[in-house]
Amino acid sequence: MMLRGIIVLSLILVTFSGLRAQDSTGSYLLRKIIIEGNKITRNYVILRELPFAEGDTVNQSELKYGRERLYSTGLFTRVSFQPEPVGKRDMDLLIYVEEAWYIWPYPVVGFQDRDWRHLYFGAGIQDQNFQGREERLAGSFALGYDPFASVSFSDPYFGPGRNYTFSAEGSYSYGQNFGVQTGSASGQFRDSFGNLKLEVGRRFGYYSTLTLGAAFNYVAKDADTTNLVLSPTGTDMFPSLNVSYTYDSRNLKVFATRGAYVYLALAKYGVGESLVNFGRLSLDASGFLSPSSMLTIAARVHANLSEGPRIPPYNHVFLGYNERIRGMFNTVSEGESIVGANLELRIPIIKQMYFDIPDVPFRQYLSNRIGLYWAFFVDAGETMSKRLNFNNNAALYGYGGGLCFLLPYDSVVQFDYARGNDRLWEFILDFGVTI
């Protein structure tokens, strides 16, 4: 009952967060938008991120929202909006930006599966504003836990009218995980994964994108394992097709305070008489409401449902690795499908703010965002066989609270104290955000 209740409440909050409030207080007719400071970035890239255009009626809340959307692109170290009233009801808007470095090397450091023991490290290089059109060309590699290498290119302004998107990616990784159902003596398995993927999308309005994709996938097992792939040769090679819909009205990509994010996808793995022949329906929806300046309500619902004669072990889903239940943080549950939900109340101790580091030698690191919040949460989730078959005895849940540190460069560290199914309290050090 708890899992279903949290899912329903989270869906309601996500739905309401996707509705833009209509507030005409202090509204002006936007006569003209003037952009200055962009030496590389095209004007239409900046204008496309704004939820308003010349001729619209805007207020201070919408201007703040637009500024945060521009910051969230990662293209600028500083964004300034200067409204200039013209008469009683008209306004011109001066947007001044300072551009970040667009071609730069960067370190790759992280913790796989949200486990601080699973450190990986490496390096990458990217051009995140190729030709001034927000095209991203990147390559990276990492060693340590789950080593990988990848190259990618994306163009969000592709085709006629700049309303299409295009992306291409190639990657290779050598992965390990700790399965419950794999049957290996140690519980640990390793696979080699290869992937080539192409996607083309169509953007609708400010927030929505519909995408079609195709990929070729390669999975090879270790010599000492016997049941991790479907092919008797020890290597599964198969195509996959997917269609997805994305809606993103968040004001910020990391630690948003308003808006919604919805990702809905249907994927088919394998075609014809291939041994690999199954499908997945995926949903990841989150919403953010701020009824006052001292409270943010965040909600998330996620599901990954499979269907087919046989789901290979390397495509199983887990609680206890990337998806975790705070309060049962290290409890591992494996299945062919998963559903879950999260709710949070965030109360600022230090409200998130931007500040500049004086005399910094690299303008890439000029402007930074910090904040400190109390966070109180409830998490629930369950893994299951292919078909959606709730079993409340198998569901995991947890609740608690803690401190959330919002650090420069969109880094988040959380210290939580939580309790779950086993009625025991646990301290948690976590990196990143659950919602």
pLDDT for position 190: 67
Task: Give mean pLDDT, residues 181-193.
Answer: 58
User: How far, in Å, CA of 11 to CA of 4, rounded?
Assistant: 11
Same domain for 137 and 231, yes or no, is: yes
pLDDT for position 186: 40
pLDDT bucket at 61, cuts 50 / 70 / 90: confident
Better-predicted residue by pLDDT, 260 or 60: 260
Same domain for 65 and 149, yes or no, is: no
Same domain for 95 and 221, yes or no, is: no
Same domain for 146 and 211, yes or no, is: yes
pLDDT bucket at 359, cuts 50 / 70 / 90: low
Same domain for 46 and 179, yes or no, is: no
Domain final residue, candidates 66, 99, 132: 99
User: How far, in Å, CA of 288 to CA of 298, rounded?
Assistant: 5
Question: Is 55 part of any domain?
Answer: yes
Answer yes or no: is pLDDT of 183 > 50: no
Same domain for 174 and 152, yes or no, is: yes
Same domain for 25 and 59, yes or no, is: yes
Task: Give mean pLDDT, residues 416-427.
Answer: 95
For 267-289, what is each residue's pLDDT tens digit? 999 987 678 999 999 999 999 99
pLDDT for position 245: 98
Q: Is the Cβ–Cβ distance between 69 and 49 less than 8 Å? A: yes
Q: Which domain holds residue 70?
A: 21-99
Same domain for 216 and 297, yes or no, is: no
Contacts of 386 (CB under 8 A, 6+ apart): 305, 306, 307, 308, 311, 336, 337
Same domain for 71 and 109, yes or no, is: no
Better-predicted residue by pLDDT, 48 or 151: 151
For 368-405, what is each residue's pLDDT tens digit? 778 999 999 999 999 988 655 554 457 899 999 999 99
Same domain for 149 and 166, yes or no, is: yes
Same domain for 91 and 138, yes or no, is: no
Contacts of 273 (CB under 8 A, 6+ apart): none
Lowest mean per-residue pLDDT among 48-52, 120-124, 265-269: 48-52
8: tokens are: 């329903």
Tell me which range, 11-20, 321-330, 361-370, is most confidently predicted by mean pLDDT: 321-330
Average pLDDT, the chain: 86
Question: Is 158 part of any domain?
Answer: yes
CATH number reported for the structural domain that contains residue 374 in this entry: 2.40.160.50
Tell me which range, 241-250, 344-353, 360-369, is most confidently predicted by mean pLDDT: 241-250
Same domain for 378 and 274, yes or no, is: yes
Task: Give mean pLDDT, residues 148-158.
Answer: 93
Domain final residue, candidates 232, 248, 264: 248
Contacts of 112 (CB under 8 A, 6+ apart): 118, 119, 120, 145, 146
Q: Is the Cβ–Cβ distance between 325 and 373 less than 8 Å? A: no
Question: Is 16 part of any domain?
Answer: no
Question: Is 401 part of any domain?
Answer: no
Answer yes or no: is pLDDT of 133 > 70: yes
Answer yes or no: is pLDDT of 39 > 50: yes
Task: Give mean pLDDT, residues 132-161.
Answer: 91
User: How far, in Å, CA of 58 to CA of 68, rounded?
Assistant: 15
Neighbours of 245 (CB within 10 A): 15
pLDDT bucket at 224, cuts 50 / 70 / 90: low
pLDDT for position 42: 92
For 305-326, what is each residue's pLDDT tens digit? 999 888 988 899 999 988 999 9
pLDDT bucket at 41, cuts 50 / 70 / 90: very high
